[in-house]
Chain A
Amino acid sequence: MAIKHLEEYRDPQIAQKIIKRIKAASLKQIRLMEVCGTHTMSIFKSGIRQLLPETISLLSGPGCPVCVTAQNEIDAFIALSRVEDVIITTFGDLIKVPGTDSSLQTERAGGRDIRIVYSTFDALEIAKKNPKKNVVFLGVGFETTAPTIAASILAAKEMNLGNYFVISTHKLVPPALVALMATREVNIDGFLLPGHVSVVIGTKAYQPFFKQYQSPCAIAGFEPLDILQAILILVEQIETGAPQLTNSYRRAVTFEGNVKAQKIMQDVFETVDVKWRGIGTIPESGLKIRKEFAAFDAQKEFAIIVSESKEPKGCVCGEILTGIKNPTECPLYQKACTPMNPVGPCMVSSEGTCAAYYRYYSI
């Protein structure tokens, strides 16, 4: 049986026709940014890049959580893993990211207890089973992940778990869009907005950005037809000079978003200025744990101080995350830097642009 809500969005005949429409509509040279790493993967996997007319360049944006995590944050994770009696729990992507002088993978090989989990509930389980250890979850991600981590903190409180901690390096998408538009070298004609971040924050969260910059925006789902439809919408808006904030993923995204998830996130976190790899510090673009939940805040509990962090030499991840360069313009790409031996996070993460190029676009 066909999987519901899926096969329909992969119909190659409809895709062909939408591509024809895109070709007919697209006259000027334009640069569209897909903000989300999952879109990047889907675009490569489905071969959409090769099917689009030459007038359209697709750039991958800062929506790969591991990739935008700043080097000092990676170094803090590594430092935490060295604290006695700490068990680090994390999503898999982070393990291989090189810090200034180590990586979590190297630390694990050296005997540190670092475990990959599928969700924060697994981390809570580990904390329950290891009452003598301190379990730290590495909170990396955007508005999609942040509520799941907030929920774990609420659950830990309810269970009276005194040995569960989170280090929050969460980042928010709308402030990053503002920062991108404000960067001089960045030059984007329209945005394909992330599907699942938008599920949580809703179309309304982009309104201030849209009002300020009047840049064409389309929220898109992850199937090939979702993406093509959003591209068509953007092309038409650009060609007619009538930008809009469009939700073209209405089966999953509402205007208000997931209000319950937003509330849980706001109960536990407050916004803070944070540094993004490649972009620098963006005001109010991060989430830190509120005072009321300080007992679960790894930053407070372990007072980790990271001395000078250095980004990997020669790696241009930062410029890739802002659409200024593409991976083939990095001298290390495919030479010193491969998925087996990544130099920067954009080659590590399955959602990273360098990894996507390597996998689907090898030259």
Chain B
Amino acid sequence: MCLAIPSKIIKIKDNMATIDVDGVQREASLLLLENPKVGDYVIVHAGFAINKINEEHALESLKLLREAAAVIFGDQKEGIDSD
């Protein structure tokens, strides 16, 4: 039931968004989202956007993943993203 693919908001009208999922357009309710904006990437579940993707953390996670992968080749930086 989880649509795990991040979708981009391309239009907002009365709490409903048109979202783009890999070129396919769908509708999603924005009732559960604080301050949605056109251009935001959101995760949609059962027709509702349930959150935005945090760009900064997305980039940081990718960096950590690459570092985690690099450790095996002698780069000893710890690549774990923990709270």
Contact = CB atoms under 8 A, between A and B. Distances in A.
A145 interface: yes
Interface string B1-33: 110111010000000000000100000010111
Interface residues of B, number: 41
Nearest to A42: B4
Interface stretch (A95-103, A162-170, A174-182, A239-247): A239-247
Given A121-B29, A246-B83, A8 B62 contact: yes
Contacts of B8: 4
A3 interface: yes
7 contacts: A18-B65, A38-B2, A141-B46, A196-B2, A232-B80, A254-B54, A258-B33
B81 to A, nearest CB: 5
Contacts of B66: 14
Contact of A5 (B51, B58, B81): B58
Contacts, number: 150
Interface in A105-122: 118-122
A248 B69 CA distance: 15
Nearest to B48: A148
A251 B47 contact: no
B82 A248 contact: yes
A260 B82 contact: no
A24 B2 contact: no
A65 interface: yes
Interface residues of A, number: 60
Contacts of A13: 69
Closest 9 CB pairs of A and B: A119-B47, A17-B69, A222-B4, A251-B58, A250-B57, A5-B6, A246-B82, A261-B32, A38-B2
B45 A145 contact: yes
B61 to A, nearest CB: 6
Contacts of A18: 65, 68-69
Main SS of the interface on chain A? helix
Given A196-B43, A246-B82, A260 B34 contact: yes
Given A5-B6, A17-B70, A251-B54, A233 B34 contact: no
B41 A151 contact: no
Nearest to A93: B1
Interface of A: 3-6, 8-9, 13-14, 17-18, 20-21, 24, 36, 38, 42, 65, 91, 93, 118-122, 141, 144-145, 147-148, 151, 155, 195-196, 199-200, 203, 221-223, 225, 229, 232-233, 236, 244-248, 250-252, 254-255, 258-261, 264, 351
Interface string B62-83: 1011101111110000001111
Residue of B1, B34, B57 ringed by the most chain A CB atoms within 10 A: B1
B29 A65 contact: no
B68 to A, nearest CB: 6
A252 B54 contact: yes
A195 B68 contact: no
Contact of B46 (A20, A119, A199): A119
A252 B62 CA distance: 13
B46 A252 contact: no
Residue of B22, B71, B80 ringed by the most chain A CB atoms within 10 A: B80
A55 B28 CA distance: 42
Contacts of A8: 62
A142 B81 CA distance: 26
A247 B81 CA distance: 7
A144 B6 contact: no
B8 to A, nearest CB: 7
Given A6-B6, A24-B72, A251 B57 contact: yes
A148 B46 contact: yes
Contact of A119 (B34, B48, B57): B48
Contacts of B71: 21
B48 A203 contact: no
